């Protein structure tokens, strides 16, 4: 029986489906852990496949590749170096599990399966995995290690079972995506499990972007007295080696203290947006991104995020003025491009507007101009941007925010054209706050210029789509502070109309916003993926029927 252990936490950024590449990442982490004298490495959830692998795990050929890679990697541990708690989708007969495997001495010496499969929000593991039995601890060099996997610690049952079975330390692989409430929730659940079991706990989380999800890392260790012994950095890979000793009453203690300052508030949101975009571009092999820079606040913050994520040389912007574009917008777009250091091209859309007017005149006749003509402008811009994207290979970013997408204030096949959206889960009021924040801060890990990157006039002028003379967003929408409060109540809060009215909103305004929200569901089904920020993002987490008559109760 040993009285000391050195355990390395491998906070890595895997790529879904890149089995060999992900094994290489763990192999490099093992090399670093060996140099630090580690006995054991703990990886985040499903590191071999990347998380979440979704329907990849329903392909037998994929599971064969995973099994072969794990078996080959296990053989490498015969070199006397650190053992590995490796995580992978694992087939046992006709069943497939979310598994953790102990690789030691050249073999897979123990296997445990995730018991509590999440089936809410962004998670649908019940559909692709089988639930494992209640796990017992693994025996590692005389120490009984409990390895609950992610959701297994969000309720007391699995940790309690492990403690009753003799576990001495809880090592928890996680694939826990970021949202604004998640950091506190993770810590609260971990503290609760430590309190209930009396066992120390190491929480190892994935980092990096995967489609809509972004993982912030921020792995940590709690001692049995609930003190924070280790806080790993967030938003980047980290190999953190920790020293453990058997203390009084055989309670294990993580010695020393390495506590990084976690990001909070607008910094967290901005880091999520940049990392989500960076990894979407890099992991999908795009050379850069293209943005329609209008002189408005949404395209400006999208440009700033892109420059910070990829560097200015991989961001290209296009201004597409119409007869309704103000001189101020033209000037603001030029200034924003200079501050960010990006190339700005200009392609006017009046020739396209005139051409469409002529082509459609036999059908439209003398009908009064309305939103149809406004949408033609947006679609002309979308056509131009997609043409440039196709020709140059740069992925087009959409610039619509959550407020606009909520109420349908966006044009299908126009400003909704694109491959990714960094603002999809960001309300308009938060967009303004992020602009102020970025002009005053630039995290060290980002690639854009320091200082102001968004002209002040872009932030202070009234928002406008500029699709007709003197147009303002508030011509057809409530003020954004009121609109966003109502939307948060409807979307994140699922509140009834009466409860929202009690917050000081007019009943007819609440009813109108609810109607617009439901009516725009068909548009959102056709929107590109975007970074998840809140706990109720459109797409995976909020799925309402398009055909839906439950809209009026007042």
Q: Which residues are catalytic?
A: 45, 114, 150
H or E stretch including 274? helix 265-283
DSSP letter string, 450-497: SS--S-HHHHHSPP---SSTT--GGGTS--HHHHHHHHHHHHTS---H
User: Both tokens of residue 439?
Assistant: 């002009």
Phi-psi region for residue 418, left (φ > 0), alpha (ψ -120 to 50) or beta? left
β-pairing, 343-346 vs 315-319, is parallel
β-pairing, 95-104 vs 83-92, is antiparallel
Q: Is the CB of residue 306 less than 8 Å from the CB of residue 291?
A: yes
User: Both tokens of residue 74?
Assistant: 């296990």
Q: Is the CB of residue 47 less than 8 Å from the CB of residue 14?
A: yes
Q: Is the CB of residue 113 less than 8 Å from the CB of residue 132?
A: yes
State the angle between helix axes of 428-440 and 297-310 in degrees (0 to 180), rounded to the nearest 10.
50
| Residue at token pair 């001189």 | 327
Centroid of chain to Cα 38: 31
Distance CA 314, CA 342 (A): 8
Whole-Å CA distances, 349 to 82, 119, 224, 319, 448: 62, 47, 65, 10, 30
Distance CA 216, CA 208 (A): 7
Distance CA 177, CA 269 (A): 13
User: Both tokens of residue 349?
Assistant: 């859309």
HSE on the CB side for 366, CA within 13 Å?
0
Distance CA 19, CA 519 (A): 42
| Dihedral sign from CA coordinates of 474, 476, 482, 485 | negative
Q: How many CB atoms lie within 10 A of CB 17?
A: 15
Work out the widest C-alpha separation in the chain, in whole angstroms: 90
Whole-Å CA distances, 488 to 119, 273, 535: 23, 20, 11
Q: Residues near 323 by Cβ (< 8 Å), separated by ≥ 6?
A: 350, 353
Q: Which class for 44: exposed (0-12), middle (13-18), buried (19 or more C-beta within 10 A)? A: buried
Q: Residues near 71 by Cβ (< 8 Å), separated by ≥ 6?
A: 108
| Residue at token pair 């078996």 | 71
Q: Is the CB of residue 406 less than 8 Å from the CB of residue 516?
A: yes
């Amino acid at each position: 029986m040993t009285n000391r252990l050195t355990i390395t936490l491998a906070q890595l950024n895997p790529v879904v489906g890149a089995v060999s590449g992900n094994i290489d990442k763990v192999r490099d982490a093992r090399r670093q852990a060996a140099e630090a004298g580690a006995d054991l490495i703990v990886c985040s959830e499903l590191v071999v496949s990347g998380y979440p692998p979704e329907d990849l795990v329903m392909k037998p050929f994929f599971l064969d590749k995973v099994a072969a890679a794990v078996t080959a990697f296990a053989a490498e541990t015969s070199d006397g170096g650190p053992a590995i708690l490796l995580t992978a989708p694992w087939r046992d007969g006709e069943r497939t599990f979310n598994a953790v495997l102990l690789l030691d001495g050249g073999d897979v010496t123990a296997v445990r399966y995730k018991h509590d499969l999440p089936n809410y929000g962004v998670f649908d593991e019940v559909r692709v995995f089988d639930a494992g039995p209640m796990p017992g601890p693994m025996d590692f060099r005389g120490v009984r290690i409990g390895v609950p996997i992610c959701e297994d610690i969000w309720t007391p049952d699995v940790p309690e079972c492990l403690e009753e079975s003799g576990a001495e330390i809880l090592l928890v692989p996680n694939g826990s995506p970021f949202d604004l409430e998640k950091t506190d929730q993770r810590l609260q659940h971990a503290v609760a499990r430590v309190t209930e079991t009396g066992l120390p706990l190491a929480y190892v989380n994935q980092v990096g972007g995967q489609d809509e999800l972004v993982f912030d890392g921020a792995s940590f260790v709690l001692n049995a007295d609930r003190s924070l012994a280790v806080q790993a950095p967030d938003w980047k890979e980290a190999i953190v080696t920790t020293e453990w000793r058997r203390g009084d009453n055989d309670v294990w203690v993580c010695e020393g203290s390495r506590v990084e300052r976690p990001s909070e508030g607008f910094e967290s949101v901005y880091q999520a947006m940049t990392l989500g975009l960076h990894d979407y571009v890099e992991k999908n092999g795009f050379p850069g991104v293209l943005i329609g820079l209008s002189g408005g606040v949404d395209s400006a913050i999208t440009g700033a995020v892109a420059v910070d994520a990829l560097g200015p040389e991989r961001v290209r912007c296009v201004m597409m003025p119409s007869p309704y574009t103000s001189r101020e917008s033209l000037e603001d777009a030029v200034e924003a491009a200079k501050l960010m250091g990006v190339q700005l091209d200009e392609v006017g859309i009046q020739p396209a507007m005139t051409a469409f007017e002529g082509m459609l005149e036999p059908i439209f006749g003398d009908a009064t101009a309305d939103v149809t003509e406004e949408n033609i402008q947006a679609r002309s811009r979308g056509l131009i941007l997609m043409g440039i994207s196709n020709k140059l290979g740069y992925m087009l970013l959409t610039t619509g925010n959550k407020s606009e997408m909520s109420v349908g204030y966006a044009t299908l096949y126009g400003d909704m054209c694109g491959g990714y959206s960094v603002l999809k889960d960001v309300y308009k009021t938060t967009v303004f706050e992020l602009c102020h924040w970025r002009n005053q801060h630039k995290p060290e890990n980002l690639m854009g210029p320091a200082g102001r990157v968004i002209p002040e006039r872009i932030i202070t002028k009234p928002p406008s789509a500029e699709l007709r003379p003197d147009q303002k967003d508030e011509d057809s929408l409530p003020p954004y502070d009121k609109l966003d409060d109502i939307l948060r109540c409807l979307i994140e809060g699922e509140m009834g109309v009466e409860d929202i009215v009690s917050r000081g909103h007019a009943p007819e305004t609440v009813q109108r916003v609810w109607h617009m929200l439901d009516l725009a569901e068909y548009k959102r089904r056709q929107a590109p993926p975007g970074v998840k920020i809140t706990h109720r993002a459109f797409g995976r987490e909020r799925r309402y029927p398009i055909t839906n008559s439950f809209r009026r109760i007042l």
